[in-house]
Every structure is written in structure tokens, then in C-alpha cells.
Amino acid sequence: MEILGVDIGGSGIKGAPVDLATGNMLASRQRIPTPEPSKPQAVAQVVAEIARGFSWQGPIGCGFPAPIRGGVALTAANVHKKWVGTNVATLIAEATGCPVCVINDADAAGLAEMTFGAGRDRNGVVMMVTIGTGLGTALFVDHHLVPNTELGHVEIEGQDAEWRASDAARKRENLSWKKWARRFNLYLTRLERLFWPDLFILGGGTSKEFDSFREYLSVSTEILPAELLNEAGIIGAALSARSCVDEAGS
């Protein structure tokens, strides 16, 4: 089964068709910068452009940077505030003419890693942390997803954790890997004391730089870099859309 996976981010929108049996992308991904401002209609048109680029007419799975309930975005931390209360699935379905399923973007990346990546053989409590424009989290208990955890917004020293410890924060403040890692380690320590996971998986664009900061992380929980790197969001979004196909066939 093939499904188009789309990863909607604060800085870029990426997509590619995915083979759900193997987790392989079937073509080179397309990436288009996220419109500024990132209002709903503008973003939906970019997703439609990506779908047209693959001549796509089947189901689409979208990862979106917000908690999602029934296809509706509940917050908008890294996209335009007009997304709050918008039915993302309906809007993108209208723009593309395709059935659409939407999932929190970190949850999508976590699904991919738990299915095809670093967590595929791991039971117990596993937490995926995506490091990019913000900090995303996906929590799994024996491979079952606990959706919409949004733990990038826990408070650290009076601020959202992602304001201090995301990759955007590292770049904004021109922090060395060592200085940034101290902040990120404090964040992981907070998560560790709240959830006591068996494994942290670090994903997002910063995961490919894991060797630059791993020595500065001191939590007791095992830490692994994501194996699928920036492709995880696309692959996981496609995996999440299997439900669209199942519902259409029932």
C-alpha cells in the first residue's frame, strides 16, 4: 500500500509517497518553504502543490505541529494563530481532492521510529523528542501511542522548554553545542523525572548532529538518535493515514 506522507513544519513543508510495508519513500521528497504568514489556506495550497508534483490521487497523511483532535488543530505554537479550531483534515482534503488524515507531527515521527526505526524492537515506555523549530514529543507504552503529549511546552526556568532548548533557540542565541546541550539536558531530566522512560529517541533535524552533543547529556535513561532522521515525519504521517483507507473500505 502506498500513501502520500506530508510533514507540515514551521519552516518547511515536505512530502513523498511511502510504501507502508517497508517504510521506504518511493520518490525523492519535495520540500517547499512554509508560507509567511502560515495561514490555513496558504499552507493547504502548498500541500496541494506537493500532491500535484507527484500526480497524487490517493490518501494523504499529514503531520501537523499542534495537538489534533478529530482532525482539528487545538493550538498553533509554530504556525499562524488562525489554525486554532481549524479542521486541518477537511481543509487539506478540499485543497487536494484526496482523503486526508492528520496527526500531531511529533506523533507521526514517533510512529515511524517505533515501526521502522530505533524503537522497532523496544517495549516499555519510549519517548521520542523531535528537535527543530520547537520541541515535539511522542510517548509510547508497549508500542501504543499516547497522542498529543506536547511536552515541549513544559516550563523550564519560567519559560516554555522549546523557547530555551529547541534548535531554533540554539541558532537564535548562537549557542555552542555544549551550551545548548546543557539546556537540552535539563529538559530531558525534567521528562525523565516525570515519566521514567526506558528509552529516549532524539529526532528532528538536530538528530543528525547527535555526535556533537551526546557527551554533554547526563540523564540515566538510554538515548538513541532517530534512524529515519528528517524522513520520519513523512513516513509516520503516511502510516497514520492507513485509517483513512480502512474507513473508506469499511
pLDDT tens digit sequence for 115-124: 999 999 999 9
Q: Find the helix or strand (DSSP H, E) in which 106 lies.
A: helix 105-116
Do residues 125 and 196 make contact, with C-beta atoms less than 8 angstroms apart?
yes
DSSP 188-225: HHHHHHHH--SEEEEESGGGGGHHHHGGG---SSEEEE
Mean pLDDT to the nearest integer, 187-214: 96
Fold match flag (2-107+232-249 vs 122-227) = yes
Q: What are phi and psi of 144, to 5 degrees?
A: -95, 125
Q: What is the pLDDT of residue 12?
A: 93
Which residue type is seen at 55?
Answer: S
pLDDT more than 70, % of the chain: 97
The architecture that CATH gives domain 122-227 is: 2-Layer Sandwich (3.30)
Q: What is the pLDDT of residue 247?
A: 61
Average pLDDT, the chain: 95
Q: Where are the domains of the chain?
A: 2-107+232-249, 122-227
Do residues 201 and 127 make contact, with C-beta atoms less than 8 angstroms apart?
yes
Q: Give 11's pLDDT tier (boundaries 50, 70, 90).
A: confident
Cell (9 digits) for 247 = 474507513
Above 80 in pLDDT, residue 249?
Answer: no
Mean pLDDT to the nearest integer, 230-234: 92
Q: What is the pLDDT of residue 77?
A: 81
Helix (H, G, I), strand (E, B) or coil at 92: helix
Helix (H, G, I), strand (E, B) or coil at 18: strand
Q: What is the pLDDT of residues 136-185, one digit of tens each?
A: 999 999 999 999 999 999 999 999 999 999 999 999 999 999 999 999 99
Mean pLDDT to the nearest integer, 74-90: 95
Q: What is the pLDDT of residue 250?
A: 46
Integer Cα distance of 146 and 144 in angstroms: 7
Integer Cα distance of 154 and 225 in angstroms: 22
Above 60 in pLDDT, residue 248?
Answer: no
Q: What are phi and psi of 186, to 5 degrees?
A: -60, -40
* Residue with the three cell numbers 481549524: 86
Quote the pTM value.
0.93
CB within 8 Å of 50: residues ≥ 6 apart = 4, 6, 13, 14, 15, 30, 32
- 200 versus 9: which is more confidently predicted? 200
User: What homologous superfamily is domain 2-107+232-249 in, according to CATH?
Assistant: ATPase, nucleotide binding domain (3.30.420.40)
Helix (H, G, I), strand (E, B) or coil at 60: strand
Q: What are phi and psi of 77, to 5 degrees?
A: -75, -40
What is the chain's alpha carbon radius of gyration, rounded to the nearest angstrom? 17
Q: What is the pLDDT of residue 19?
A: 98
Q: What is the pLDDT of residue 78?
A: 84
